[in-house]
Structure 1
Amino acid sequence: MKFLRPAIEYKQQILEYKNEFIENGDSLDGTSYLAKYDVCEEWIKFVLDNEKESTKHTEVTANVFLAIREEDNKLVGMINIRHTLNEYLYNYGGHIGYSVRKNERRKGYAKEMLKIALEECRKLAMEKVLLTCDADNIASARTILSCGGILENEVKAPNDAILTQRYWITLKNKLVL
């Protein structure tokens, strides 16, 4: 698997990814507002601008990566790495958000993506990384635990019935992939 920054050459796959998630009623986690964009080029500009403190459009600087399966150059997932946390991200969103296509789940891609993302966090000199998931998302919880996540607590956002689990991963010098 390789991580690539969003690029126009993947426009068709990005649009198919977005439509697939919408049709399935799935959350586009880790896609940095992809659902809000009708024009792929505008979304690509948004996420690339958001990588730099000087041009970011959101409260925190972040990187979005396309997770591309090398054998067939297929987009299987997306992941968003936030360099810092605002209050909402600290409580409910975490440093990393990710999603995997429905027909590509249960193949180990989420775990592989998270491991690569943790290496990216290490490059950003992060020492601890917060990940969150809905309490009923057993697959995501297992992925986080398999990468060293330690459950800190469970919280509910105001006016939200969903219970969120908060996990911390302490980054060591080198993660074994």
Structure 2
Amino acid sequence: MSRLKLILPKMKHKENIMNYKKEFIENGDSMHGSAGLSDAENFEEWYRANQDNLKEETVRDGLVPANTYLAFDNDKLVGMIDIRHRLNDYLLKFGGHIGYSVRKCERQKGYATEMLGLALKECEKLGIKEVLITCDKDNIASVKTIINNGGKIENEITEGNRTTQRYWINL
């Protein structure tokens, strides 16, 4: 049985989400899988965009439809994970179907692996049969998370100083 529950964000999660964002900013961490939370001016702006991006009919320009989930262990928000319903050219190279992050104080507890496993079940519900997940080559924790969920490396793409590894998981 899973310790985690993936929950679609609601207005009642505002304080949890803003504290999550604050922790990432204070630690100078990248906040992947959060539907642009790091760039949002405020919670309400982020929440509206997140709601718009749930459906093909309302997705914002340049983006693809996506579900962004909050990963809760009881009442503690430990991570966030995006499931993109389809890929555009950029996502095919660098972003994949799924992006995720775990707050620094909750890392190395197996949360990312569990989150990804739960997200893959959601992908199945969406009819996604092959899931692409990418990560920076030097992000060893993410590499392990992907491999632990059945990821098979296809290739690497180097652009400037960054090397992105591309993994596929067949559902």
- Within-5 A mapping of 1:29-44: 29-44=32-47
* Residue identity in the other structure for 1:100: V
Structure 2 residue 3 is matched with structure 1 residue 5: no
| 1:111-122 equivalence runs, <5 A | 111-122=113-124
Indicate which of 90, 93, 96 corresponds to 1:94.
96
- How far off its partner does 1:26 sit? 0.8
Q: Deviations over 1:50-97 (max 9, x none)?
A: 011111114311010000112xx1100000000110111000110000
Structure 1 distance, partners of 2:14, 2:127, is 31
Which consecutive unaligned segments of at least 5 residues does structure 2 have? none
TM-score of the two chains, using structure 1 as the length reference: 0.92
Mark the runs of 5 or more structure 1 residues left unpaired by the alignment: 172-177
Determine the C-alpha separation between the residues in 1 that align with 2:94 and 2:135.
8
C-alpha separation in 2, matches of 1:126 and 1:156: 27
* Displacement over 6 Å in runs of 4+: none
Aligned residue pairs, count? 167
Pair 1:61 & 2:49 matched? no
Q: How high is the TM-score relative to the length of structure 2?
A: 0.95
Q: Aligned with 2:77: secondary structure? A: strand
Distance in 2 of aligned mates of 1:36 and 1:141:
26
Q: CA RMSD in A?
A: 0.9
Q: Give identity over the alignment, percent.
A: 54
Give 3-state SS (helix, strand or coil) of 2:34's partner: coil
